[in-house]
Amino acid sequence: MSAVVIVGAQWGDEGKGKIVDIYTEFAEVVVRYAGGPNAGHTLVVGSEKLVVRLLPSGILRKATFCVLGQGMVVDPTVLVGEIDEVKRRGHGDIEKRLLLSDRAHLILPYHIDIDTLRETSAPKDKAIGTTKKGIGPAYEDKVRRTGVRAGELRNLSRLVGRVEMALQAWAPTIAALGGTLPKAADIVSALEPLAARLVPLLGNASQVTDDAIRQKKRVMLEGAQGTLLDVDHGTYPFVTSSSAVAGGAAIGAGIGPNRIDTVLGITKAYATRVGSGPFPTELDDELGQHLRNVGDEYGSVTRRPRRCGWLDLPGLKYAARVNGIDGLALTKLDVLTGMPKIKVCVAYDTPSGRVDDLPIDLLEDGEKVTPVYEELDGWTESLDSCRVLDQLPPTARQYVRYIEERSGVPLYLVSVGPSRDATIVLHNPFVGRAAAP
């Protein structure tokens, strides 16, 4: 069997879409196991750019079967719209190779309303910085057992009562935020045409995924966001509402942890973060703006500008530990081209002394932690034509090896541009060493 988990090793936006798309040339099944439409994965194929938010990144591979797992929260309107957009672009009848877990929870209009009301009414220094897509409230419904699962779209008459129960639980919150309580019947009525599209896609994602692994098919398990946004292991409370680490793959896909063979972590050659929360290596200056402009660091879904900064090695080693990362994919190395010097955070000075682990519980109080940097030489040569490691400029190659050695994790891939072929593949977790796609 061969099951590979892809996880973000930073604050999300590491370029997972491209990396998953590259490796899905060899995968037969791709399973998205967590998150919702707040996670935009950008795929670039030739001159075409496509952002998928709910669909697994393998959707453009015509031989790949794609699964939306039970750990996800799914907005039916967004999913149907995304399916139609992919089909409009000429990628065929993708419904034939798409399965939606009947246990995945639905994001309904009141979740989006509550998310928006909370975020817009909170004091600026207390706002989490959510995308207002209803992710958090949908997960809240899930854990308090008032959520609506995709399988309930099979019986809309019974669904009215389920939605009514959820609305009554939310009524005090909606009233306190100054919102208006919608009618359950109106919500279910709007779901009717969406249900007609989605019910044929419903199935047992856990069984399908486990069967594929037992049949020795190559399975890719695709995460969303990043380790430092994980609800348990991230910079709480400035985190997402789901499990973004590799352990969440077993839960969200419905398989045993012993089914997973390899964990691949994705990290940028620098660091970014969207929304509020601690970011100790942030560059709030012209250099940070330069990284943002050259790297097109704007949210693929929201177009919000991402905060940019130097690579955080303690954070990367932290991600390697909590995920059990076997190999790293390094993205956006090309964005650093032209910088005479590159800094890397290698430790933190704290009230208890210098530490080389991420002091995650101290980060919210930025005055208590100070990043310690090492400086490396940059390069000016273009990386556009580099397809093997030896083609990189010597100082770029030195930077790549520095990250590998200091993180303690071998590099599997180096990305030198947004397109599929702008890639140096050192190791393929499905087949061993492979040439770049």
Residue with the larger pLDDT of the pair 437 and 401: 401
What number is the average pLDDT over the span 173-199?
A: 96
Mean pLDDT of 91-99: 91
User: Quick check: 233 and 7 in contact, CB under 8 A?
Assistant: no
Q: How confident is the model at residue 435 (pLDDT cuts 50, 70, 90)?
A: very low
Residue 74 has pLDDT above 70, yes or no: yes
The answer to whether the pTM exceeds 0.95 is no
Domains of the chain, start order? 2-95+204-425 (3.40.440.10), 105-200 (1.10.300.10)
User: Given a cut of 60, is residue 214 above it in pLDDT?
Assistant: yes
Indicate the pLDDT class of residue 299, thresholds 50, 70 and 90: confident
Instruction: Specify the higher pLDDT residue, 301 or 380.
Output: 380
Q: What is the mean pLDDT of the chain?
A: 91
Mean pLDDT score, 211-226: 93
Separation between Cα atoms, residue 304 and residue 273, nearest integer Å: 10
- Would you state the pLDDT for residue 302? 67
**Between residues 304 and 437, the one the model is more confident about:** 304
Q: How far is CA 43 from CA 28, 61, 193, 334, 364, in A?
A: 18, 11, 29, 17, 34
- Residue 157, pLDDT above cutoff 80: yes
Confidence of residue 413 (pLDDT cuts 50, 70, 90): very high
pLDDT confidence of residue 114: 95
Q: Is 427 a catalytic residue?
A: no
Choose the weakest-confidence range: 44-48, 92-96, 180-184. 44-48
Angle between helices 313-323 and 394-407 (to 10 degrees): 50
- Known catalytic residue at 13: yes
227-278: pLDDT as tens digits:
999 999 999 999 988 999 999 999 999 999 999 999 999 999 999 998 889 9
pLDDT band at 436 (very low <50, low <70, confident <90, very high): very low
Average pLDDT value for residue range 209-225: 94
Q: What is the pLDDT of residues 371-395, one digit of tens each?
A: 999 999 999 999 999 999 999 999 9
Catalytic-labelled residue, pool 41, 105, 111, 233: 41
pLDDT at 433 over 50: no
Checking if the pLDDT of 366 tops 90, the result is no
Mean pLDDT of 312-339: 97
Is residue 336 within 8 Å of 308, Cβ to Cβ?
A: no
Chain centre distance of CA 305: 17
Using pLDDT thresholds of 50, 70 and 90, give the confidence band for residue 396.
very high
Q: Which of the following is catalytic: 13, 141, 230, 312? A: 13
**Pair of tokens at residue 154:** 């099979």
Please state, for a pLDDT cut of 70, what percent of the chain lies above it.
93
